Amino acid sequence: MKRASYRDAIDWIAQNDSAGDDDAGDPEVAGHLVSSVLIADIFDVSTERVGRDVVRKRVQLGIVTRAR
């Protein structure tokens, strides 16, 4: 079994959870996704950080052009 990784979780959320929504570039919205809240709890970080990291990853992947 693969060990849990914060980076892998951020990558998964960025690509799979509401990535096509109109507000996919909004860190506040991304941080309040159920999957983001779960990752924040598991890795003991804020939902704000998870939201910023998810949007940053979406920008890197070209899913969104820039963060809101």
Confidence of residue 1 (pLDDT cuts 50, 70, 90): confident
Count of structural domains within the chain: 1
Q: What is the pLDDT of residues 20-54, one digit of tens each?
A: 999 999 999 999 999 999 999 999 999 999 999 99
Q: Write the DSSP assignment of 5-49 as a string of letters.
A: -HHHHHHHHHHHSSTTSTTTT-HHHHHTSHHHHHHHHHHT--HHH
Domain of residue 52, residue span: 6-61
Enter the pTM of the model: 0.92
In a domain, 67, yes or no: no
In a domain, 53, yes or no: yes
Kindly report which listed range (4-13, 35-44, 59-68) carries the lowest average pLDDT score: 59-68
